[in-house]
Amino acid sequence: MKYLGIDYGRSKIGLAVSDGKLSEPYQVIRYRDHDKMIAHIKRIIEKQKIEKVVVGVSEGEMGEESKKFAEVFNALTFDETLSSHDAQQLSIESHMGRKKRREMEDAFAASIMLQSYLDHV
């Protein structure tokens, strides 16, 4: 089964994909127009032949926003607590440059969240 993991944010979205049991960072979408961002993700789902979408959900207000966002894609939700922190640590430990870390941080967080989901199903 092919999965898309999404790390939702108010100005950027991290995406990760999995075609089996291993997740990998895909891309980061920076946006101002919510509708265009939704359309862009729908195109990715179609192009990549995604079968399931998993949106990471944290606590509090952002968690509620993430749940509403997940409804747009009829997506599953999964706890993403500490995925951004873990992504930062792993990218530092891999000696990735600061610029590359900043550019892809949300995609790495999405990948960690999706991998956690895959490990639990």
3-state SS assignment for residue 79: strand
Angle at 105 between CA 5 and CA 99, to 5 degrees: 150
pLDDT in tens, the chain (121 residues): 999 999 999 999 999 999 999 999 999 999 999 999 999 999 999 999 999 999 999 888 988 999 999 999 999 999 876 555 555 565 556 555 666 556 678 888 899 899 999 998 8
- The answer to whether the beta carbons of residues 15 and 29 sit under 8 Å apart is yes
Amino acid 121: pLDDT: 85
- The answer to whether the beta carbons of residues 4 and 16 sit under 8 Å apart is yes
Amino acid 64: pLDDT: 94
Cα–Cα distance, 57 to 19 (Å, whole number): 22
Cα–Cα distance, 78 to 55 (Å, whole number): 6
Q: Residue 23's beta-bridge partner residues?
A: 18
- Give the structural domain span for 100: 2-120
Helix or strand (DSSP H, E) at 33: none
Please compute, for residue 21, the number of CA atoms within 13 A of its CA located in the half-sphere on the CB side: 3
Amino acid 58: pLDDT: 86
Domain CATH code at residue 58: 3.30.420.140
Residue 12 CB burial class (10 angstroms; 0-12, 13-18, ≥19) = middle
Looking at the 3D structure of the chain, how many domains does it have? 1
